[in-house]
């Protein structure tokens, strides 16, 4: 299935775009989607999204169609339209 993906904060610079359409297998877990993206984007993106073991960081917020997804082992709902990856940001 084709899905729109948005990269917020530092992830946009790390990926080189702030949004794109990607092709994913609808049986893929969120972890697998992130690991595939990290492979494509390289170490800067990977370091924000995954920990040293390649597991999604607990400080990355993921939203699917405007709702946070906390279970990274879950698969996307069949009708899902967009994923937003939101790395932590701060004040100052």
Partner 1 sequence: MLSDTDRATYEWQLDVPGLGEDGQLKLGATTALVSRVGGLGGPLAMSLVAAGVGRIVLVHGGELQESDLNRQTLMSRDWLGRSRVECAAETIARFKPEIEVVAVNENFNDGNAAELVEMADIVFDCAPLFEERFLMNRECVKSGKPMIDSAMYSLQGQVMVIVPGKTPCLSCIYPEVPGHWRRRFPVIGAVSSMVAQVGALEGIKLICGIGEVSLGDLIMIDAGRMELEKVKLSPRDHDCDVCGELARR
Our measurement of the distance from residue 11's CA atom to the centroid of its chain's CA atoms, rounded to an integer in Å, reads 9
For residue 11, count CB atoms less than 10 angstroms from its CB and return exposed for 0-12, middle for 13-18, buried for 19 or more: buried
Q: Which of 16, 68, 74, 81 binds partner 1 (CB under 8 A)?
A: 68
Under the binding rule (CB under 8 A), the answer on residue 28 touching partner 1 is: no
Taking CB under 8 A as the rule, does residue 59 contact partner 1?
Answer: yes
Q: Provide the 8-state DSSP code for 55.
A: P
Give least dist CB 65 to partner 1, A: 10
User: Smallest distance, Å, CB 46 to partner 1?
Assistant: 10
- In order of 12, 67, 82, 92, the CA distances from 85 in angstroms are 10, 11, 10, 22
Asked if 43 interacts with partner 1 (CB under 8 A), we say no
The residues binding partner 1 (CB under 8 A) are 8-10, 18, 47-48, 51, 57-59, 61, 63, 66-70, 84, 86-92
């Amino acid at each position: 299935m084709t899905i729109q993906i948005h990269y917020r904060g530092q992830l946009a610079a790390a990926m080189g775009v702030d949004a794109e359409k990607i092709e994913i297998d609808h049986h893929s877990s969120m972890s697998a989607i992130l690991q595939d993206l990290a492979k494509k984007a390289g170490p800067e993106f990977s370091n924000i999204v995954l920990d040293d073991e390649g597991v999604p960081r607990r400080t990355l917020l993921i939203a699917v169609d405007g709702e946070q997804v906390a279970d990274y082992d879950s698969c996307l709902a069949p009708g899902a339209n967009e994923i937003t990856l939101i790395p932590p940001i701060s004040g100052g």
